[in-house]
């Protein structure tokens, strides 16, 4: 007599978890770290003031008349607002039926589309895109603003006003601490204090393999006996010109690393256009919506940042 098993039985209930796992990562380190501001036009402008060069000979005769130098004018910079959006359409039936892991499908999709929109912005910031006022408007990305760079011979850095991007035509080379130090020193000399070293996953592994007395050693303190752990990563770099938190960005390019001063860059959006949910006209048995943001990258002090280009 054959054994009666689940193979030939009828009526066994399905075992479907009530938890939905999002496989795609949603981390957006640059977008999250930068300040958030509001602008009032499609072209956001700001001014940068350069101080006169410091003098080591500022000593005067007693009773001397004043001499008047021409004041240093401000530099006027600007970037275009860019419209980014995510759309979705959910049938009335899907909203009504019983679902695992969520209640109302429309609400769930709004959360997902908001996360996807953040990821799109993060990936865009890593692209080489100059600002453009032509329709569709485009915001100048990080590489269009940074001039304090260590690059290979043959590469031309951007002008630093958002109007162009580096050509990245130099011969690729391996990442070194000397390259990072060069960019860090240049940014520091120009008044910046970069606090983020943004690297791709591949460059994080390469950075952890670098050996220098300036690399801080990770320490793990256990409150109870445990198996020994092998630490192979570096999350903090103490340079001669300040501390850099090593931040992994899944959307970063392998051919560069950025040294960012989060005090001098921000994401600027138009009022009521910051991840605004817009319900679209109903034309059938479905709910349609759009999540939209009109934003730009505001680099309030381009010289405060640095980069290393032309990495293999």
Does the pLDDT of residue 249 top 60, yes or no?
yes
Structure tokens at 94: 């899907």
Greater confidence, 283 or 42? 42
Q: List pLDDT tens digits, range 188-217.
A: 998 899 999 999 999 998 988 886 545 555
Q: List pLDDT tens digits, range 134-180.
A: 999 999 999 999 999 998 887 788 899 999 999 888 888 999 999 99
What pLDDT is attached to residue 312?
86
* Ranges assigned E (strand) in the chain: 35-38, 43-48, 75-80, 82-91, 149-150, 196-199, 236-239, 242-248, 257-260, 266-269, 276-279, 286-298, 306-308
What pLDDT is attached to residue 18?
52
Handedness of CA 296, 30, 160, 54 (dihedral sign): positive
Greater confidence, 83 or 52? 83
pTM for the structure as a whole: 0.83
With cut-offs at 50, 70 and 90, classify the pLDDT of residue 1: low
What pLDDT is attached to residue 5?
47
286: buried, middle or exposed (CB in 10 Å: 19+, 13-18, 0-12)? middle
């Amino acid at each position: 007599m054959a054994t009666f098993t689940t193979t030939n039985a009828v009526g066994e209930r399905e075992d479907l978890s009530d938890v939905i796992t999002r496989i795609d990562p949603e981390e957006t380190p640059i977008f999250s770290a930068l300040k958030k501001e509001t602008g009032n036009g499609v072209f956001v402008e700001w001014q940068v003031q350069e101080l006169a060069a410091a003098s080591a000979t500022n000593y005067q005769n007693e009773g001397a008349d004043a001499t008047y130098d021409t004041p240093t004018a401000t530099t006027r910079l600007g970037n275009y607002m860019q419209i980014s959006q995510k759309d979705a359409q959910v049938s009335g039936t899907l909203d009504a039926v019983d679902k695992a892991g969520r209640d109302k499908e429309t609400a769930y999709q709004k959360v997902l589309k908001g996360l996807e929109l953040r990821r799109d912005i993060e990936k865009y910031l890593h692209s080489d895109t100059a600002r453009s006022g032509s329709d569709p408007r485009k915001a100048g990305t990080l590489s269009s603003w940074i001039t304090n760079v260590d690059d290979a011979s043959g590469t031309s850095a951007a002008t630093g006003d958002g109007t162009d991007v580096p050509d990245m035509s130099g011969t690729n080379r391996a990442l070194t601490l000397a390259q990072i130090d060069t960019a860090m020193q240049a940014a520091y000399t120009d008044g910046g204090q970069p606090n983020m070293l943004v690297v791709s996953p591949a460059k994080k592994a390469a950075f952890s393999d670098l050996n220098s007395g300036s690399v801080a050693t990770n320490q793990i303190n256990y409150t109870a006996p445990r198996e020994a752990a092998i630490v192979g990563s570096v999350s903090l770099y103490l340079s001669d010109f300040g501390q850099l938190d090593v931040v992994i960005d899944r959307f970063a390019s392998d051919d560069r690393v950025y040294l960012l001063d989060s005090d001098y860059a921000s994401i600027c959006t138009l009022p009521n256009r910051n991840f605004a949910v817009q319900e679209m006209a109903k034309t059938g048995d479905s709910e349609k919506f759009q999540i939209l943001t009109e934003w730009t990258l505001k680099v309030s002090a381009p010289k405060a940042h640095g980069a290393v280009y032309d990495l293999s």
